[in-house]
A and B are shown apart, each in its own frame.
Chain A
């Protein structure tokens, strides 16, 4: 079997010269230190994206967008299609875990300062990928066309409408009209399965290429070690095997969640029905939603909601440009200013999310 495999590889090698790949696999090394565990977060996120891609394609075989068919087709998938329930629930759970691990990955990169030169563009592409991931979540949430999703989309697109000048047209563009209707559903479907995957893939390819090109980031405390004390493991197969081990564990957790905590479908959306209780966005939008809710109606001459939207817009943009922000090193400070800002941001997100679910 091994010989047969070698034969195939040498057959290809003879024709297409696999030495660059072989060199990369043979020589790529991953630093081994007490913070190595964070190296695996990006891999898990990538794995979950692959799960999303595969389950999404399978769902596409039965899903029918449209006011009269979307909800019915999802119900058909979870009730009649063989293993449809598993695919749909894995897709929903994986989407949530994907966002979670993307956040963990981002903050681990931030706190280990892995975004610094020469990895600025890896950070920027990573942030753009995160934004597209959230857009995937927002557009996918509406697709089952159930009550909660319908009203959450209404609220979500209303918030977009608050932005000055471009807000109004952007809201109409997103909704495909004045209100959330079947036109919005078709639009979100197109965005979710065609537009986003296309753009996402481009940024993902660049993100991965940058990492392969530059190798794993070494934290300062590792870099400052004498050469003989620095430990490395080979990317292939050692790191890859550990990655695989984690992926298998995550996959097992994923099907456990899909089986024991199936994603509720709820009632079909009715445009003229009154809004049901407990409308809330997906958990990863909760901190922003809650902040907007807590803001007063007017702050100085600005509407509270507008101020909130502008704040998150500017904050997101600044966050994307973190690698280019130079903050003076303060030797007397136990925690450096940027790290402190990061801690405060994480605390803000966590507290606001909890408050959002409690209130």
Chain B
């Protein structure tokens, strides 16, 4: 077992790896010829599809035109290459497109070669969607696979150039949903994109490029796209706003909403144009959402008033403490502990706002009280630091004055001695 044996072993492993990789590649492409005659001819006569993209995901995976459209890619003779006897399909009809794509995309054995974790239920999901159902009834105006993914410039959804990349989804949907002629037939409004782009979600996604913010498909689904129903609205929002959903679902209001045919979250917050909520939405003021249903004297009116009062008290205390905190920072004093207290106060403020969805003034009041205590502590500490700041400066002024008196006295003493000597 000398060194030679190990060198041989290393060599053997390297060679087997190289051949191993080569054989895997072959498995993927062995059906495909070296030259794709469809591509070669169509390129030569400048008759490639309008949306054709060299970096299309299928081309990238060594698939050829014939992989989808059929025909014989080996033959340069148009008659043979595009002969139905060679399985040539040509351009599929719109109603057939989902199945056309589903040939591969619904086949897990085929798909896992390319992406082991890929889903293969897109087509079956699609037929549950409004788009899919309408297509089955023969409506060819609705969206099918290529409407969103394009036909020949398909890119993975994670690729920023893709039409279904999170940042591009709102625009992709808007191509049809913003078309008033098309939507008129279905009696669907066309202002969703406009509303969405001004909403808190739209600003986060489109303006701030925050990929965590929801696009159309996060609420409506993608392949199974459908408008959320009354019962599912709070679940849709609740996928991200979990606590709000749990609190809301556990209240009497939730059932009352269902009975009244009110759309959970949407009733107060809106849908596409959802704005950042503010404290004025609760209470009994002009902007309050509660007074849409509640009137002076009923229980809801009183609860709303109490919740508002707790929240505003905490908010004011927090703002005061925060202003002092900033002053401490600006003065270069110790702000560490104040920062911690303010963090807790902020947390209590957020939790109190979330607890509004319990519609329980005691719960909100208790949490707000915690926040008020943290804010008061922060204010107290900040004031101490601000006082300390001035104490130091005053102390320095007094010390300097004392030193000055001492220095002047010394100066005269020295001068006096000098005179005596002379």
Contact = CB atoms under 8 A, between A and B. Distances in A.
Interface of A: 78-79, 86, 233, 237-238, 241-242, 244-245, 248-249, 251-252, 255-256, 259, 262
Contacts of A241: 410, 413-414, 417
Interface in B328-344: 332, 334, 336
B158 interface: no
Given A79-B336, A245-B407, A262-B332, A252 B400 contact: yes
Contacts of B414: 238, 241-242, 245
Nearest to B335: A79
A251 B393 contact: no
A244 B410 contact: yes
B396 interface: yes
Interface string B399-422: 110010011001101100110010
A249 B414 CA distance: 16
A262 B334 CA distance: 12
A251 B403 contact: yes
Interface residues of B, number: 18
A262 B389 CA distance: 13
A245 B404 CA distance: 10
A242 B334 CA distance: 39
Given A238-B418, A242-B414, A248-B403, 8 more contacts: A79-B334, A86-B392, A244-B410, A245-B410, A248-B410, A249-B407, A256-B396, A259-B393
A259 B396 CA distance: 8
Contacts of B334: 78-79
A28 to B, nearest CB: 15
A238 B392 contact: no
A252 B410 CA distance: 15
Nearest to A239: B414
A251 to B, nearest CB: 7
Contacts of B403: 248-249, 251-252
A248 B406 contact: yes
Contacts of A251: 403
B401 to A, nearest CB: 10
Given A255-B396, A259-B396, A245 B411 contact: yes
Contacts of B392: 86, 259
B396 A248 contact: no
A303 B35 CA distance: 59
User: What 5 pairs across the A-B complex have the smallest Cβ distances?
Assistant: A79-B334, A245-B410, A252-B403, A241-B414, A259-B396
Contacts of A233: 418, 421
B113 to A, nearest CB: 41
Given A79-B336, A238-B414, A259-B392, A248 B407 contact: yes
Contacts of B336: 79
A83 B75 CA distance: 91
Contacts of A259: 392-393, 396
A255 B399 contact: yes
Contacts of A237: 417
5 contacts: A78-B334, A241-B410, A241-B414, A245-B411, A249-B407
B385 to A, nearest CB: 10
Contacts of B407: 245, 248-249
A250 B199 CA distance: 62
Nearest to A234: B421
Contact of B417 (A86, A238, A244, A248): A238
Nearest to A244: B410
A255 B401 CA distance: 13
